[in-house]
Structure 1
Amino acid sequence: MTSIPKRMEAAGKALLLSLISASMSRRRALPDWRARPYRVLYVRHDGIGDMILATGTLRAIACSHSTISLDVLTHASTAEMLLGNPHVNRVISFRPGRRLAYPASLLRRLRRERYDVVVDGMMRRFVDGAVQRPRVKSSTVLLMAVSGAPHRIGMGGRPNDFIYTFPVIPPPERSVHHAEYSAAVAAPFNVVPAREDLSCELHVSDAEGVAAEARWRALEDSHRVPRLLVNMSAANARRRWPIDRYIAVIRHVLERHPGASVLVIGAPGDEEGISAVASASKATVCVPSLRDAFALIGTADVLFTPETSLGHAAAALGTPAVVMLPAGHEMLVPYKGSGRNLFGADGTIESVSVDAASRALEEVLDRPA
């Protein structure tokens, strides 16, 4: 049974939404983007891989008209994806408040910024067996209202979409890659996603690249050998693969490519499993920061991972990847990436076999450079 405070909170939220709807639920014609400078804020703060996939959309919006200056609002954890991105004027990062709401200090700041356009990049989608964001969140409605932006763009066809002055309807989610699906919010800027280059991009600094190259060279003899980067960490149990299978796959690679450099990486908290795999397969272990992981991916020959975010990073950096995903996630594979995607059954990657993974890695490693 719902408690009285929660019922009162829900009633207050419903009243606030109705008041905002009454005052702001008006559609508005798009401006002439060529007429004057426009300050645009793109809002997206979900996963690391999602922000990487969004870089094509950001580029398309920023380059659509010379009058547009593009800022991005995102979590502090995903802001790193945009370091060095030449298409983003400024990244505003924040840490969510109670119940993932926007802090009051952030709302006041956005009000002072006086943006001309706010783009809500948080769209409805299906992932890991659940529908995410089936409605426009009340916190998003509040942010857009408080911003004072005269033009507000986002995915229509959902409850609370009254806040958008220009709602967009993307193509059916299962019909296109998620990079193209989420690029629908760029259409009001005269961008046609189906004709646009939406390739992902990441920018590794010279210092990060030099450090990664030095780590690889420390594993090699005097001559260059194949470099396999193995990531074991994953966001949830659906995407975790048994430790003994990683060991078997690495041993197979080393039998086929004696002397190859194999570096096993993972996130903090997974050190025990990473060390066990590295020890049993005579590989080297590393727990890098996220930025250092990107640099290692960019200097590897092949990435093997159960985590799609690093697969997206590999596609952005031009590194072939063998990525394990649950079936049903075909629209979330690395966008325009080179490599192989292996799908598990029953909503997990448990059914991906050692043989399938080994064959995929052989195929990618044996390709001409």
Structure 2
Amino acid sequence: MPSAPSGWPSTSISRSGFPMNFRKILIIRRDNIGDLILTTPLFEAIRQRYPEAYVAALVNSYNAPAIAGNPHLDAIFSYTKGKHAAGEPVWQAYLRRAKLLWQLRRMHFDCIVLPNGGPVPRALKLARLLKPRHIVGFVGDRGRAAAVDLAVHGDGGKLHETEDIFRLLAPLDVAGPIPGLTVVPEPDLAHRLHSRLPEAVASGNGPLVALHISARKEKQRWPVERFAELAKRLHEQYAARFLLFWSPGDENNPFHPGDDAKAARLLTALKDLPIAPVATGQLSELIAGLALADCAVLSDGGAMHVAAGLGKPIVCFFGNSSAERWHPWGVPYELLQKPSRDAGDISVVDAADAFGRLMTRYLQET
């Protein structure tokens, strides 16, 4: 391992018994948008414990906008996965990745943290390529423990994903309480989106409700006809206004199926209500659009965690995913999940009642 630069303190021992000399820290999280957002409390906790340290994150180009502008990071490094290399030869993406890894290796990180819900061989291989002084990660067997010198053992059991990966900060001498999520919208983009809203949607006495109708997994999807009926009830009872979000594209696209047709049907069904579609071809647009809303109604998924990171109260539909592991973190929420573990079995009455409870709780807490 490389030696510490001149003038740096020698290694000390933390309260947890691990060696501690962390002046350059890299967090690697390469997976989905929601997973990365649930990692943002680690950024804040590390910054609070090591205010003078250089703290950076390595992510992929697809999820990088989820942490753009994060105030607790000094730098965000991203690379393009081969499957996301649209409009260019895959080899160019791989070449840029190799150059980035060489750059990171020359930065001589003291510590690399691998915040995944268990051992992830690919992430570990990537960390070892960068030759840090220490690697912090979960281990499940002796072979992995040899590579992860600051190892955290045991599974998270029934912990939330954020609680589970927060256990990885013990070797950095970081303890709770766990901060909330952090998602930062682009101010100029949010302003532009707001300026395009119809007057009936942009202003009013009722809450501005984000409706996100898409979900990647079939059992997480709530029927668009129920979104229509729910919107009518919320408008009648609360004078609610609406922003409509969906995954763009044609439903028959084999690579990136979208819900353009469903969104068009919903807009037709709600033509007499104050509702505006918000195009979200980029993740940054989804973040900026959700930032405009007062609250959100949507299924479990990346958009739900974006909304939580923006501090929005949430009504969420869960199908066959674990509510214990993935519920919204750090915000008021009402979670609906049926014994069938199919979101399609959640009724409009269920959703309307949950919205009422959420509004009552939110008003009481604010």
Match of 1:313 in 2: 306
Q: Deviations over 1:126-173 (max 9, x none)?
A: xxxxxxxxx531x33432222111211100224634210110135633
Give the 5 Å matches for 1:286-365. Answer: 286-288=278-280, 289-326=282-319, 328-365=322-359
CA contact (8 A) 1:179 1:198 kept: no
Distance 1:92 1:62 in 2: 17
* Aligned pair partner of 2:268 in 275, 279, 291: 279
Which has the larger displacement, 162-171 or 220-229? Answer: 220-229
Partner of 2:235: 254
Given residue 246 of structure 1, which amino acid in structure 2 is its aligned partner? Answer: F
Residue 156 of structure 2 corresponds to: 172
Query: Percent identity, aligned pairs only?
Result: 24
Per the alignment, residue 215 of structure 2 pairs with 234
The counterpart of 1:96, out of the listed 68, 72, 81, is 81
1:331 Cα deviation (Å)?
A: 2.3
* 1:221 CA displacement: 7.7
1:205 aligned onto 2:186: yes
Letter in 1 for 2:212: N
Match of 2:34 among 49, 52, 60: 49
Counterpart position of 2:166: 183
Describe the SS at the equivalent of 1:77: coil
What TM-score results when the alignment is normalised by the length of structure 2? 0.80
For residue 253 of structure 2, what is the aligned residue in structure 1?
none
Aligned partner of residue 20 in structure 2, secondary structure: coil
d(CA) in 2 for partners of 1:40, 1:221: 43
CA distance, structure 1, for counterparts of residue 100 and residue 82 of structure 2: 10
* Deviation at residue 40 of structure 1 after TM alignment: 1.1
- Structure 2 Cα separation of the partners of residues 105 and 202 of structure 1: 28
CA contact (8 A) 1:265 1:285 kept: yes
Secondary structure of the equivalent of 1:122?
A: coil
Q: Distance in 1 between matches of 2:296 and 2:47?
A: 31
**Structure 2: how far apart are the matches of 1:311 and 1:61?**
25
- Quick one: structure 1 residues 317 and 206, their matched pair in 2 at CA, closer, same or farther if it must change by over 3 Å? same
Contact 2:296 2:315 in 1 (8 A): yes
- The 1-side partners of 2:188 and 2:170 are apart by 37
Letter of the aligned partner of 1:281 in structure 2? L
Matched with 2:252 is none
For residues 81-111 of structure 1, the C-alpha deviation after alignment (integer angstroms, 9 at most, x for no partner) is: 1111111111110122489998544432332
For structure 2, the residue ranges without an aligned partner over 5 or more in a row are 1-16, 85-89, 250-258
Cα distance in 2 for residues equivalent to 1:360 and 1:252: 13
Q: Cα deviation per residue 1:284-306 (whole Å; 9 max; x = unaligned)?
A: 32222322322232221220001
Structure 1 residues 150 and 248: CA distance shift in structure 2, 3 A: same
1:121 and 2:103 aligned: no
Aligned to 1:345, the other structure's residue is in SS state: coil
Whether 1:163 and 2:157 are equivalent positions in the alignment is no
Unaligned runs of 5+ in 1: 1-28, 125-134
SS of 1:247's equivalent? Answer: helix
CA distance in 2, matches of 1:221, 1:199: 28
Distance 1:221 1:87, change over 3 A: closer
Q: Write the letter of the residue equivalent to 1:308.
A: G
SS at match of 2:76: strand
Alpha carbons 1:44, 1:120 under 8 Å: kept: yes
Among residues 58, 67, 73, which one is paired with 1:82 in the alignment? 67
SS of residue in 2 equivalent to 1:173: coil
Give the residue type in structure 1 aligned to 2:284.
R
Q: Map of 1:6-155 to 2, 5 A cutoff?
A: 30-33=18-21, 38-97=23-82, 103-124=97-118, 135-137=119-121, 139-155=122-138
Q: Secondary structure at the match of 2:58?
A: strand
Which of 221, 245, 249 is the matching residue for 1:265? 245
CA distance in 2, matches of 1:252, 1:357: 10
Distance of 1:262 and 1:73 partners within structure 2:
35
Superposed CA RMSD in Å reads: 2.7
Aligned length, in residue pairs: 323
Find the counterpart in structure 2 of residue 129 from structure 1: none
The 2-side partners of 1:142 and 1:163 are apart by 9
The question of whether the paired residues in 1 share the 8 Å contact of 2:136 and 2:168 is answered with yes
Structure 1 residue aligned with 2:225: 244
Which AA in structure 2 matches 1:275?
A
CA deviation vs aligned residue, 1:194-213 (integer Å, no higher than 9, x gap): x3232101112332332343
CA distance in structure 2 between the aligned counterparts of 1:291 and 1:97, rounded to whole angstroms: 21
Which deviates the most, 344-353 or 271-280?
Answer: 344-353
1:107, 1:291 → 2: CA distance? 25
State the Cα distance separating 1:178 from its structure 2 match.
Answer: 1.4
Name the aligned partner's letter for residue 309 of structure 2: A
